[in-house]
Structure formats: structure tokens, C-alpha cells
């Protein structure tokens, strides 16, 4: 993993480029659900065990993947929220974020 490109958060419209670490945590923990203009945020993630998801969780959000999963599960089981859309590949991540209004996800730098 040393020397490998790290994760980078992105959105098709460039909104993700200027987000703080705290705001990213709010978005990916599904607590912030709309952009300032009112557009719903659509979060895309890779499967829990995907190496890039693990790195994203640790390096960008500062949490372990199981902590993200536990937060998402609480939202679902309590009926108070939705979980992110899971995509299987980095290519699918790029495409889904690109074509989804309000979409946000992560790729390799």
C-alpha cells in the first residue's frame, strides 16, 4: 500500500473539491443529506472489504469501515435514514457519480 495512490473524493460538478474533513464525515455517515442549493446528496461507496473503501474510511474519514457500516445499519434499523448506494468497481463508481445529480463518491488519486 505504500506508494499506491490514495483515495480522492469527487463529484461530477466539482462540489466535493472544497469540502472539509468534517463535512465529508457528515456526508458519508449520511447525516448531511442535501447540498447547500437543496439538491439531495447521493452517496456512492465500494463494498466494505474493497481495499480502496478501507483506505478511504481510514485516510479520509478517520474511521474503520466497520464503524461506517454500524452507523448505516443504525439508520436502516431505526427507520431514520438510508444507506449509500454500493457499486462494485471503481469504474462503476466514476460512471454513477458522473450521471447522478448530487452524486459523490471516491476514486484513486
CA 69-108-48 angle, to 5 degrees, is 20
The conformation of residue 15, written as its DSSP 8-state character, comes to G
Residue 58 region, left (φ>0) first, then alpha (ψ -120 to 50), else beta? alpha
CATH number of the structural domain spanning residue 84: 3.40.190.10
The model carries a pTM of 0.92
Tens-digit pLDDT profile for residues 32-57: 999 999 999 999 999 999 999 999 99
Cell numbers standing for residue 16: 466535493
Determine, yes or no, domain membership for 2. Answer: no
| Residues 9 and 26: beta-carbon distance below 8 Å | no
Mean pLDDT of successive 10-residue stretches along the chain, which has 109 residues: 76 91 96 95 97 97 96 91 94 97 95
Determine, yes or no, domain membership for 87. Answer: yes
Which residue segment(s) compose the domain that 46 sits in? 7-108
Amino acid at each position: 500500500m505504500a506508494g499506491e495512490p490514495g483515495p480522492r473524493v469527487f463529484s461530477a460538478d466539482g462540489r466535493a473539491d472544497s469540502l472539509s474533513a468534517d463535512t465529508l464525515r457528515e456526508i458519508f455517515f449520511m447525516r448531511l443529506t442535501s447540498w447547500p442549493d437543496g439538491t439531495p446528496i447521493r452517496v456512492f461507496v465500494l463494498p466494505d472489504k474493497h481495499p480502496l473503501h478501507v483506505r478511504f474510511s481510514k485516510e479520509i474519514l478517520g474511521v474503520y469501515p466497520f464503524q461506517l457500516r454500524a452507523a448505516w445499519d443504525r439508520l436502516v434499523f431505526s427507520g431514520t435514514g438510508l444507506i449509500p448506494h454500493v457499486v462494485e468497481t471503481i469504474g462503476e463508481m466514476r460512471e454513477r457519480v458522473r450521471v447522478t445529480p448530487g452524486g459523490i463518491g471516491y476514486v484513486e488519486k
